[in-house]
Amino acid sequence: MTSKKLLNTVAGCADDALAGLVACNPSLQLLQGHRVALRSDLDSLKGRVALLSGGGSGHEPAHAGFIGKGMLTGVIAGAVFTSPAVGSILAAIRAVAQVGTVGTLLIVKNYTGDRLNFGLAREQAQAEGIPVEMVVIGDDSAFTVLKKAGRRGLCGTVLIHKVAGALAEAGVGLEEITERVSAVAKAMGTLGVSLSSCSVPGSKPTFELSPDEVELGLGIHGEAGVRRIKMASADEIVTLMLDHMTASSSVSRVPVQSGSSVVLMVNNLGGLSFLELGIIADAAVRALEGRGVKIARALVGTFMSALEMPGISLTLLLVDEPLLKLIDAETTASAWPNVAKVSVTGRKRSRAAPAEPLEAPDSTAAGGLTSKRVALVLERVCATLLGLEEHLNALDRAAGDGDCGTTHSRAARAIQGWLKEGPPPASPAQLLSKLSLLLLEKMGGSSGALYGLFLTAAAQPLKAKTDLPAWSAAMDAGLEAMQKYGKATPGDRTMLDSLWAARQELQAWKSPGANLFQVLTKAVQSAEAAAEATKNMEAGAGRASYISSARLDQPDPGAVAAAAVLRAILEALQSPAV
């Protein structure tokens, strides 16, 4: 079965993709009759060297994303994973020659089709009297023994685009640029790893991997790598990649050692999430610095992809200060990142968190509660939430991402850990404030924010008094804050429904002579009934409101959790141990 892709036609996808880039970038133009993109200010290059590159489509943003002042003059694109036509390459060479450039350098990745087609176009252009040179880039560090075809051209080619572009912009001649970038190309290596293959439009995936396998040393055309390894952590995979790239026994090794200074590229092969890319980047920086390697610059992003391949490649380029100046030189190329011109290694990566403000003295008494009683109540609440984890997750799968129970269990474990550090404050205002900060930091999700808001606001009325009317006012303040920022109202099928029902009963605490347990019991019963009633409600807020079905046949997990917390508090307070 072929994979789904957002195309107009398979045959026209490469043309459409290039046209889309040019349509959105006024600094680019298409060369009529050819799949060629050129700088729109081509006339400004008179007297300078032009730089052309290209290859098959499917590697976006390479190569057209790197057209611009300080990088490429133009790009010739083939069909997906197919070398461009000789006629189009020659047309591009003629186009840049006609504006008065003093020569053209072709930057070609080391693949047979690219070498042949660019090489033939070069010969024809030279026969017409146009000065043309060609450098073939092979930065693949996958193969440990020499292959007749040589090392494949991978993401390191983008760094050659940058170095050559900076030299051309500085007015350096064709012969010198060719010599200098050829030397730079020998000082770098790239290695890729992927969780699965990619698929050319209209075709099936190029290879299959079992769920516990990872492909190491693969190219950028969906071809398999040098070996398959077992799935491992990001740290372990990065370590394996660096070991492979720098192994002294490998003919394609990068001679990186302790004391070396490098540019690191962490390249998304197309389908990896940005979250995973950040994890890999962190692992690579730590691993290299752990080996005594200085990371002069780090580039993280998508530079040379293989369609939707969920993988990454790491590129290491040995650099000195003159080469770094070329890497740092200005460019208008849209796909080149805005890299800080300072070393990554040696920079302080964190700053001290601000100190917590000193607590104001609490003038209220403990309100009848001791620290021991508070701890017992909280332990009962935690045990209840931990016991409900799977049930709440099951309820949440119908309308959310199935983690409501996990989120509440995370809060319970955070509270348990906090209780082990020492007795909780007996002061209600301080207790609720501490719990608010704890849940905001540890619970996560919208539930953590809502509970944090509730507790922060509820603490305020308890600073002056801790009698039953004050506790009723605390409930009012907490729910007002939840509604203000959460935007839910009663009847929206959220945790607010349970708490709102309890609040209505707790208004009785404001009457003289109100009984603590009688009112609280009614409040808990009302909260439980309201939680059960949410299964007949249409979701008006929260993630469940986006579900296409108008009604859900299970109660809201947040409402169930809130009612369970109130039940646990009641039972703990009624317990003889308390």
What is the residue-wise DSSP string for 426-457? SSHHHHHHHHHHHHHHHT-HHHHHHHHHHHHH
443 and 322 together in one domain: no
The helix (run of H) or strand (run of E) holding residue 470 is helix 468-486
136 contacts 83 by C-beta, under 8 angstroms:
no
Give catalytic status of residue 63 as yes or no.
no
Q: Using the 3D structure, point to which of 295, 328, 361 is the last residue of a domain.
A: 328
The enclosing H or E element of 122 equals helix 112-127
| 377 part of a folded domain | yes
Please determine, for residue 495, whether its predicted confidence score (pLDDT) is greater than 60: yes
| Residue 350 domain flag | no
- Cα–Cα distance measured from residue 537 to residue 150, given in angstroms and rounded to the nearest whole number: 66
Q: Is 556 annotated as a binding residue?
A: no
Q: Is residue 2 part of a domain?
A: no
Q: What spatial distance separates the first Cα and last Cα of the chain, rounded to whole Å?
A: 65
Q: Clarify whether residues 569 and 456 are in a common domain.
A: yes
Q: Are residues 315 and 374 in the same domain?
A: no
- Torsion sign, CA atoms 86, 89, 92, 93: negative
Dihedral sign for Cα atoms in the order 218, 222, 223, 229: positive
* Separation CA 337–CA 59 (nearest Å): 17
What are the beta bridge partners of residue 191? 314
The more confidently predicted of residues 422 and 37 is: 37
Number of domains in the chain: 2
Give the DSSP H or E segment for 27.
none
- Reading the block at residue 23, the tokens are 């349509």
Pairing status of strand 294-301 against strand 261-268: parallel
Structural domain includes residue 175: yes
542 is in an annotated binding site: no
Give residue 469's pLDDT.
95
Residue 434 pLDDT > 60, yes or no? yes
Catalytic residue among 34, 221, 244, 408: 221
Q: What was the pLDDT predicted at 148?
A: 81
Instruction: Residue 568: give the domain boundaries.
Output: 369-574
User: Which amino acid, one-letter code, is at 362?
Assistant: D
> Mean of the pLDDT values across residues 120-147?
95
Whether the per-residue pLDDT at 109 is higher than 70: the answer is yes
- Please tell me whether residue 326 adopts helix, strand or coil conformation: helix
Residue 301 lies in a domain: yes
Q: Which pTM was predicted? A: 0.77
b/e map of 114-125 (b: 16 or more CB within 10 Å)?
bbebbbebbebb
| Residue corresponding to tokens 């050559």 | 164
Q: Domain for residue 335, yes or no?
A: no
Q: Which two tokens stand for residue 76?
A: 């010739």
Write down the pLDDT at residue 541. 59
Q: How far apart are CA 328 and CA 297, in angstroms?
A: 9
Q: Which helix (H) or strand (E) holds 231?
A: none
Q: Which CATH number covers residue 553?
A: 1.25.40.340
Residue 34 annotated as part of some ligand binding site = no
Q: For residue 564, is it within any domain?
A: yes
Outline where DSSP puts E strands in 195-354.
213-216, 227-230, 261-268, 294-301, 311-318
With bands split at pLDDT 50, 70 and 90, how would you rate the model's confidence at 116?
Answer: very high
Is 356 exposed, middle or buried (CB count within 10 Å of its CB: 0-12, 13-18, 19+)? exposed
The yes-or-no verdict on residue 367 having pLDDT over 70 is no
The Cα 80–Cα 425 span in angstroms is 66
pLDDT at 540: 63
**One domain for residues 32 and 150:** yes
Which pLDDT score is estimated for 575?
86
DSSP-assigned letters across all residues of 186-224: TTEEEEEEESS--B-TTS-BS----TTEEEES--SSS--
pLDDT at 360 over 90: no
Whether residue 445 sits in one domain with residue 302:
no
At 366, the pLDDT band (50, 70, 90 cuts) reads: very low
Two structure tokens written together for 355: 């100190």
Residues 317-353 pLDDT 10s:
999 999 999 999 999 999 999 999 999 999 999 999 9
Q: Are residues 309 and 380 in the same domain?
A: no
312 in the same domain as 205: yes
Q: Among 131-140, 243-252, 381-390, 569-578, which stretch is predicted with the lowest mean pLDDT?
A: 569-578
Question: 564 and 461, same structural domain?
Answer: yes
Alpha-carbon distance of 154 to 110, in angstroms, equals: 8
pLDDT band at 370; cut points 50, 70, 90: confident
pLDDT exceeds 70 at position 145: yes
Is 250 labelled a binding residue?
no
Give dist(CA 336, CA 72) in Å, integer: 11
Q: Look at residue 466 in the predicted model and tell me its pLDDT.
A: 92
**Residues paired with residue 228 on neighbouring β-strands, in sequence order:** 215
3-state SS string over 28-74? EEECCCCCEEEECCHHHHCCCEEEEEEEEECCCCCCHHHECCCCECE
What is the predicted pLDDT for the residue at 359? 63
Residues 314 and 414 in one domain: no
Residues 173 and 311 in one domain: yes
Is 15 labeled as ligand-binding?
Answer: no
The fraction of the chain above a pLDDT of 90, given in percent, is 84
Is 140 known as a binding-site position?
no
- Whether residue 339 is contained in a domain is answered as no
Measured between alpha carbons, how far is 489 from 501 in angstroms, rounded to an integer? 12
* pLDDT tens readout for residues 1-39: 677 899 999 999 999 999 999 999 999 999 999 999 999
Q: What is the residue-averaged pLDDT of the chain?
A: 92
CATH number, position 119: 3.40.50.10440
What does the angle CA 35 – CA 39 – CA 43 come to, to the nearest 5 degrees?
A: 120
